[in-house]
Structure 1
Amino acid sequence: MKTIKKINKYLVEHYPLIWNTRLVWMLALAVILHLGFFIAGFLSINSQENVAAHYTLSGFYYDSPALLIGSLISIVSLLLWIIYYLKNNAFKSLYPFKKGKLFLQFCITFVILFTNITHYYSYKKGVVTKIKKLYDWNEIDTDIKKFNNAAIFFLKNRTNYDIEEKQYPHPFPLESVSTDSKRFLGVRIDTTKPYLKYNDKYYQFYKLDKDLIAKDIENNAHAFDDVYNKKEYAVDRNPFRYRNVYDVTPFKNLFVPNLYNYSQEFIDYGQTNTDSKKRVKDYYNLLSKKDSNSIENELKKFFVLAEKYNVKHNLNIKDWLYLINLENDYKYIINIKDRKPDEYQEEKFRYSYFKLKTRIDTIAIPINISKKEQLYYDRFQKTEDRKSILKETEYEEYFKEVPYCDFGNLKTFFKNVHSSYNTKFDVDSLYVFIVMSILVALLLFTFKTTSIRNILLSAVAACVVMIFGILIIYILDKYLRVDKTIGILAALLINISLVVLSIIGLTRKWKKGFVSILFTLAQFAIPLIVLFSILYYKQILSYPQRNKDPYVLWFDEYGFWFTIVVWILGIFLYSKSIRNWRAWTE
């Protein structure tokens, strides 16, 4: 306690601004809290189940008690700090306060607020550090590739095995168009080029000529809407102009869902386009072998992975190979369930899972049969005594259990591990924390320089201005039917007026309280001027130009920081004039 008093005494004598803002102690508290949240995040991860508990790394903080605890700690610590901070005021207390220190006080306030509300980053860093300590990415990446190699046999979704999903060999992948009516031949399908009929439906497969599309867009830019840039329609709306049609008759047997069509990536985290292309080729080569032993080896690899990553299933090699349907050229039979069925579902589904078997029945030939009946029995092989026939009968052998494979949160686990090794800074949350810190710092700064009465009057004035602005926009839209651009312009002009009136009021020395209200409103209007300006600029541009204009593109990239710089500059200019304003008589 004596040490604290000594430090405070030294600060008040040599650095009164730092003493008054409690900068040293609040930064020390912030460091302790950040360290505590880092440790908490680190200790929150102990197993695969923990890693997969939240869909994103941010969720470990925002979707857990850490958010509530962090918020309460920030509120309590900052409220206590504000109580002590507001006890002394440079305009009311007799401690040194040099020129330029007022803006510095605002900056210190911002730093204290920002460092004491950003525990999220430390907690997330703790989570990421622990995940990287528990799991090696090279090993995880190898296992992801093994999962992807086996994914073709998971049989999770019939549509993934349609021919539209096929990526290999050439000429696939292709786009397709179909119709079940002859009336639309020549409208939807170019009958001058190869097309085929399958199950009373007409199909045509093609690729879009992207070079021709780009050329037409360049030559007829005024006639194209951005919506159509990647589609096949041009100015003349000719649906066939950009199609390079292919004859897929050799693949007609794949129109029924088939494993040859599968190209989906089961887990894509960390996987490159090269990995995907190689995997699809490997699928094709593996199936083309028509070797049950090779397929069985892939299934065995999956069982090892399933045990390693706690994948729940009841699959067995024998039933699984039957569902893969090698004997019928991999024609898709039925889905493997995503989760274990309950007793009711088990009874409901089990009749859909069976193997078609054949057996040889011995049937005695009746005595005194007619010639017609004799002809029937002569069709079958007879026993040695010629008194019975051997008849092959087909029957259904039901699976003992409905097959299922429940991956649970496995994809989320791999996603979070990949994100830990490829962390991207959460810029959106940073923007929120910066704006929150500036707003609160500005409120405290305003209270320090004026009074609670003026702040409350400013709040009332802000509400009046908002009501006035909303009414103007409503009238323009409801009764005058003007474009919404005028509403944005009206909001922009209102905010500009607040800033201009505050400057005029300061130079003309209007009533002190009124100028205080104007300046308070102006400080919050500055960032709105920037935002409404860019919105208005976007509205006066044509739709295609909005995504190409250099100023719009620049603002999309740097607009937030530009707005913050302008806002801080406005606060700085206000702080320079506040000392003269304070000297005015009431």
Structure 2
Amino acid sequence: MKSFIYKVNQYLIERYPTVWNTKLVWMLASAIILHLLFFVMGFFTISNPASLQERGINDIFFENGAVFMSVIITILMLVIWLVYLFKNNAFKNFYPTSRAGLFLAFLYHILIIFVSSSFYLSYNYGMKAQIALSYSDARIADEIALANEAAVFFSEKVSDYTLDKREYPEPFDQLFCETRDKLIDYNQPYTSFLDNNYQFFSIYKKEASKTPRYSEPQFTGYIYKKSLDSMDVYYFKDKLIDVSNLINNSLPSYYNYSSTLYISKNDSLNQEDLDYDYDNYSDFGYDHSPQASIRGKLQNKRSHELLRRNNPSEIKQLLSQFLSMSSAYKIKHNLAVDQWFELVYHPTNFEVKSFIRDQKKPDYYYEDDRALLAEKDVNRFLKERLTDYYFESKRLRNVFENIETIKASNPFMDGIHVFMWLAFFLSALIFMFRITGLKSLLFAIVTVGVLILVIALLAILLAYASSGNDNLIGYFISYFAVLLGATIFAIPLFFARSVKKSVVAICLNISIAGFVPYLLLILALIAMHQKDLCEARSFKNDYYNCPTIFDYLEFNWSFVLFFTGLALMYFYTTIIKRWKSLPES
């Protein structure tokens, strides 16, 4: 092994001295092995379906200790690498070095730091591979559909089965159910269930031109508003409709179920977002039920048709398939098909006569009868019919969410920016140390700290003098920083021979590290002007209709700045070589 390493090093030092000097080959080889290790770790992290039951599984890297292992390995690798790297410094010892050699060394530093710190990416790709191999898109789509169909029988909450949730058949799909007591006309037909009252109205609508987001609506008193591509549609209550002849009673019924257990991220249904009139109805209470939901209507229709067929075998088969799927994901429950069927099958009107818990009943559970009597009627109705059966539906929802989140994730794009810029600035720091030495680097750091302190003090003084005019302060600080940065950049470029070499070295270090932040500052200044100009011209002064230069590329600006920084670094190598040739002063 030693002989092999020696031969490789000899080959590199003779033909690729920069590669040998930066230890690129050995660092890449070590990093690849460690990336494979983290990939395998990520792959087996979620091999047990039970691990998918907690929300945010895509953040498990930061929760199960893998991040600490990654940080420790990264630090050890970089420390060992730096020890060998600093043994040889051709530039500092005046060994002939070309511009390309300097720039390649900087690139190799970036590459080494990137591969030595980005184990998060491999870990997440391992998780993504596990999900792709274990859960096909077709399987997940079928299981989500199965779960949503069986969810009608979950019997967890009274509110899922009350009359106001009915949206099928006609005319319920065209009606609005008023549930706020202060808005119900008790002199007109209405129906009640315990302390809940329901009154149905037909709906009429008004169309209006689209208004900017968060601006004042064009109408008041509407029940909800739909924002379409080119217009806003406002819906209002119209005539009262007597539905007493359309329902058997107002008790909770499976016929009323219109909720959806889980909405797939791949669901092609164009769900409309509804905006409610909060202001005009704030004194009467606000009902968050998603009436007029397209998805709710379709779900209610499917549930209604299933119940209307009244086929015990079909219902049992549905429950059986659902429980088998749940067991495969290790969802905790104590239901059996026959027991569950007996709880829900009441074919007269499919009333909800028993309720199922969403988690296991505590071993030591005590219900005070006096406290039960003090409960609201609906809560008492639930508790009097609450069984010891349970099914942890939230965990099943989390499973679907986690699987689809990981499938849709792009670990490279999610994490590339952090590791890319970490590698860039650490490489710049190492590059500065190797070029100018520790003394100049420390003086550069101190100088930047002093300049930041001066700018902060100026901002405080200006805030006091201008009575806290944030806009004025922002522009002053930005332009002052731009001028200050231009001065620092100009010294190595134009005044290197007329200024002490040590001062030029400090400015050189600040320039190397400050290329990208300076460009970002200029972009921010442009964005400030764009926003202010747009708001000055906007009648509504609506921020959301004022795009800036950052909105055109969004996160892609990160790549633009990164490669611009590399390009500037390449051209700056000429300045570095010129500085090195200056006589010591």
TM-score above 0.5, yes or no = yes
Aligned 8 A contact 1:42 1:123 in 2 = yes
State how far apart, in whole Å, the 1-side matches of 2:41 and 2:337 are.
44
The match for 2:13 is: 12
Aligned 8 A contact 2:255 2:307 in 1 = yes
State how far apart, in whole Å, the 2-side matches of 1:536 and 1:141 are.
46
Of the three residues 575, 578, 583, the one matched with 1:577 is 575
Q: What letter is aligned with 2:133?
A: K
State how far apart, in whole Å, the 2-side matches of 1:130 and 1:143 are.
18
1:345-424 → structure 2 map (5 Å cutoff): 345=365, 402-407=388-393, 409-424=395-410
TM-score, structure 2 as length reference: 0.77
CA deviations 1:340-388 (Å, max 9, x no partner) are 1123326669x99xxxxxxxxxxxxxxxxxxxxxxxxxxxxxxxxxxxx
CA deviations 1:105-147 (Å, max 9, x no partner) are 2111111111111112222222332333334443343232222
The match for 2:123 is: 123
How far the C-alpha of 1:72 sits from its partner, in A, is 1.0
Q: What letter is aligned with 1:583?
A: S
Provide the secondary structure at the position in 1 that maps to 2:356.
coil
Aligned 8 A contact 1:162 1:257 in 2 = yes
State how far apart, in whole Å, the 1-side matches of 2:386 and 2:215 are.
53
Aligned 8 A contact 2:440 2:505 in 1 = yes
Cα 1:269–1:60 shift into 2, 3 Å: same
The match for 1:261 is: 256
Aligned 8 A contact 1:40 1:126 in 2 = yes
The match for 2:509 is: 520
State how far apart, in whole Å, the 1-side matches of 2:41 and 2:543 are.
49
State how far apart, in whole Å, the 2-side matches of 1:334 and 1:488 are.
63
Cα 1:424–1:196 shift into 2, 3 Å: farther
Would you say 1:242 and 2:234 are equivalent positions? yes
State how far apart, in whole Å, the 2-side matches of 1:206 and 1:14 are.
84
TM-score, structure 1 as length reference: 0.76
Aligned 8 A contact 1:20 1:85 in 2 = yes
Q: What letter is aligned with 1:497?
A: L
How far the C-alpha of 1:152 sits from its partner, in A, is 0.8
State percent identity of aligned pairs: 23
State how far apart, in whole Å, the 1-side matches of 2:6 and 2:149 are.
68
State how far apart, in whole Å, the 2-side matches of 1:405 and 1:455 are.
62
State how far apart, in whole Å, the 1-side matches of 2:5 and 2:180 are.
83
Q: What letter is aligned with 1:568?
A: L
Structure 1: 5+ residue stretches without partners: 186-190, 218-223, 353-397
The match for 1:357 is: none
Aligned 8 A contact 1:488 1:535 in 2 = no
State how far apart, in whole Å, the 1-side matches of 2:189 and 2:427 are.
69
State how far apart, in whole Å, the 1-side matches of 2:201 and 2:530 are.
40
Aligned 8 A contact 1:205 1:248 in 2 = yes
State how far apart, in whole Å, the 2-side matches of 1:79 and 1:174 are.
70
The match for 1:101 is: 101
State how far apart, in whole Å, the 2-side matches of 1:237 and 1:400 are.
42
Q: What letter is aligned with 1:40?
A: M
Cα 1:265–1:105 shift into 2, 3 Å: same
How far the C-alpha of 1:431 sits from its partner, in A, is 0.9
Of the three residues 328, 333, 349, the one matched with 1:313 is 333
Aligned 8 A contact 1:339 1:404 in 2 = yes
The match for 1:110 is: 110
CA deviations 1:430-450 (Å, max 9, x no partner) are 111111111101101111121
Cα 1:250–1:513 shift into 2, 3 Å: farther
How far the C-alpha of 1:501 sits from its partner, in A, is 0.8
How far the C-alpha of 1:504 sits from its partner, in A, is 2.8
Provide the secondary structure at the position in 2 that maps to 1:268.
coil
Would you say 1:283 and 2:303 are equivalent positions? yes
Would you say 1:532 and 2:524 are equivalent positions? yes
The match for 2:379 is: none
State how far apart, in whole Å, the 2-side matches of 1:204 and 1:24 are.
75
Of the three residues 448, 454, 461, the one matched with 1:462 is 448
Would you say 1:495 and 2:484 are equivalent positions? no
State how far apart, in whole Å, the 1-side matches of 2:354 and 2:505 are.
75
CA deviations 1:150-200 (Å, max 9, x no partner) are 001102233333555555445637666665447x99xxxxx9xx9968679
Aligned 8 A contact 1:499 1:519 in 2 = no
How far the C-alpha of 1:400 sits from its partner, in A, is 11
The match for 1:83 is: 83
The match for 1:220 is: none
Mean Cα displacement is larger for which, 551-560 or 198-207?
Answer: 198-207
Provide the secondary structure at the position in 2 that maps to 1:409.
helix
State how far apart, in whole Å, the 2-side matches of 1:504 and 1:472 are.
23
Provide the secondary structure at the position in 2 that maps to 1:439.
helix
Q: What letter is aligned with 2:260?
A: E
Provide the secondary structure at the position in 2 that maps to 1:329.
coil
The match for 1:386 is: none
Structure 2: 5+ residue stretches without partners: 224-232, 271-294, 373-383, 536-540
The match for 2:146 is: 146
State how far apart, in whole Å, the 2-side matches of 1:79 and 1:415 are.
40
Aligned 8 A contact 1:161 1:260 in 2 = yes
Aligned 8 A contact 1:207 1:243 in 2 = yes
Aligned 8 A contact 1:325 1:333 in 2 = no
State how far apart, in whole Å, the 2-side matches of 1:208 and 1:497 are.
61
Cα 1:532–1:139 shift into 2, 3 Å: closer
Cα 1:168–1:116 shift into 2, 3 Å: farther
Cα 1:477–1:549 shift into 2, 3 Å: same
Provide the secondary structure at the position in 2 that maps to 1:227.
coil
Would you say 1:21 and 2:22 are equivalent positions? yes
CA deviations 1:406-456 (Å, max 9, x no partner) are 246333333343345444345232111111111101101111121212222
Aligned 8 A contact 2:358 2:391 in 1 = yes
Mean Cα displacement is larger for which, 451-460 or 439-448?
Answer: 451-460
